[in-house]
Amino acid sequence: MERFTGFLRRLRALVKKELLQLTRDQSSLLMGIVLPLMLIFIMGYGMSLDVKNVPVAVVLEDTSPTARDMVSFTQGSEYFNPTFTHSMPEAIDLMKAHKVDVIFRVPSTFTEDLYRGDANLQVLLNGVESTKSTSASSYIQSSVLTWVTTRTASSIAVSSVGQVNVVSRIWFNDANTSAWFYVPGILMLVLTIVGVFLTAVVMAREWERGTFESLFVTPVQILEIIFAKLIPYFGVAWIGLTLCLTAGHYLFDVPLRGSIIVIMGVSMLYLLVALGIGLVISAIAKNQFLASQMALYISFLPSIMLSGFMFDLHSEPVAIQVISHFFPTTYYLQLLKSLLLTGNYWPLIVKNTSILLGYMIFFFFLAFYMTRKKVN
């Protein structure tokens, strides 16, 4: 009991010292609290996967009521900003001037061909804006198919088995809002930045200045030093996570369909994993520059490129998919997306939480061993 009381007394004194040092280090507070809020505002408002207001040149060579009715979907739509022309050269000039990204051509024989059952339309895309143009082309094809199905089904030869309508619906993100896709990734980035990057750089700075070694001549144990170093940054990361989660919910209407207790619990577990990685990096790198570079390449870039944050992992090569599952960020992001947008799916929660727990034990054991080794 006396040993435990002494442990708590020494730990409290060390934590107090670290908190005083943290409050004097404005850059750490800015990176841990202000930067996460900036990220969620920039990515939430500035980055969007939603393709809207695509400039389209509509070449209406057929001016019949049927043709005009068919292209009417481009007007008043949030997806298109149409410019009507009557000649292809004019539309091509608009594309060369980068005033339109798509040319939608209705041939002069469209109505006649339509009632013969063999009508063609032409869609030309600007390859410079390939992503936007491809999405716009899909919108046009879908809109034309809907028009054909609803307006001219009686005039088009169809199979004797009757007409087939495909009704699709997006689950868990009904409005297909890209902010709902980004916010879980931003939460993951916040914990990664504070847990790995900030911890590694700040502790490497103490190695660099020699203040870390000065603690080893005191009666405190290595475990107490490590805990005292982690507790303040755990608190900073927790504040950043709470602020971003609140902003995502109230500013971007991101739902919390899973248990908030489970969300915070798995976030706490991932934060401990990130802090463990930061400790390992600081034990290897004894200067701030090397620590920042290692944190960037080991954790930050994989968090963006190989976790499913920016790119769907299922569309990546098999080798990349295998590599991505070596990083804890992949499992945490899967959990966040599921808990925020889907709900409590316990098989996934148990599986990914167990993997994160294994990572946490491994990195903390490695950090403790490497720090103790350096002391010897």
Looking up residue 61, the CATH number of its domain turns out to be 3.40.1710.10
Looking at residue 261, its pLDDT comes to 93
Residue 40 lies in a domain: yes
Note whether 228 and 369 are within 8 A (CB): no
Looking at residue 269, its pLDDT comes to 94
Cβ neighbours of residue 317 under 8 Å, at least 6 residues apart? Answer: none
Give the relative orientation of helices 288-295 and 199-209 as an angle to the nearest 10 degrees: 160
Global confidence as pTM = 0.76
Asked if residue 146 and residue 63 are part of one domain, the reply reads yes
Asked if residue 61 and residue 135 are part of one domain, the reply reads yes
Cβ neighbours of residue 224 under 8 Å, at least 6 residues apart? Answer: 7, 10, 11, 14
304 vs 297: CA distance, rounded Å = 11
Looking at residue 130, its pLDDT comes to 63
Asked if residue 312 and residue 182 are part of one domain, the reply reads yes
Residue 161 lies in a domain: no
Looking at residue 174, its pLDDT comes to 67
Asked if residue 64 and residue 14 are part of one domain, the reply reads no
315 vs 321: CA distance, rounded Å = 9
Looking at residue 96, its pLDDT comes to 82
Asked if residue 74 and residue 37 are part of one domain, the reply reads no
Q: Tokens 């509509």 correspond to what residue?
A: 58
Residue 34 lies in a domain: yes
Residue 298 lies in a domain: yes
Note whether 336 and 189 are within 8 A (CB): no
Looking at residue 167, its pLDDT comes to 58
326 vs 314: CA distance, rounded Å = 15
Asked if residue 352 and residue 264 are part of one domain, the reply reads yes
Residue 162 lies in a domain: no
Asked if residue 234 and residue 255 are part of one domain, the reply reads yes
Asked if residue 70 and residue 44 are part of one domain, the reply reads no
Burial of residue 308 (CB within 10 Å: 0-12, 13-18, 19+) is buried
Looking at residue 164, its pLDDT comes to 46
Looking at residue 357, its pLDDT comes to 96
Q: Output the six-digit token pair for 268.
A: 């706490």
Residue 261 domain boundaries: 2-48+177-375
Asked if residue 347 and residue 205 are part of one domain, the reply reads yes
Looking at residue 233, its pLDDT comes to 82
For the chain, the domain total comes to: 2
Asked if residue 310 and residue 265 are part of one domain, the reply reads yes
Asked if residue 281 and residue 226 are part of one domain, the reply reads yes
Residue 165 lies in a domain: no
Residue 358 CB neighbours (<10 A)? 12
Where the chain has pLDDT below 50, the residues are 156-164, 166, 373, 375-376
Give the relative orientation of helices 2-24 and 222-251 as an angle to the nearest 10 degrees: 50
Q: Output the six-digit token pair for 205.
A: 């700075």
Asked if residue 201 and residue 67 are part of one domain, the reply reads no
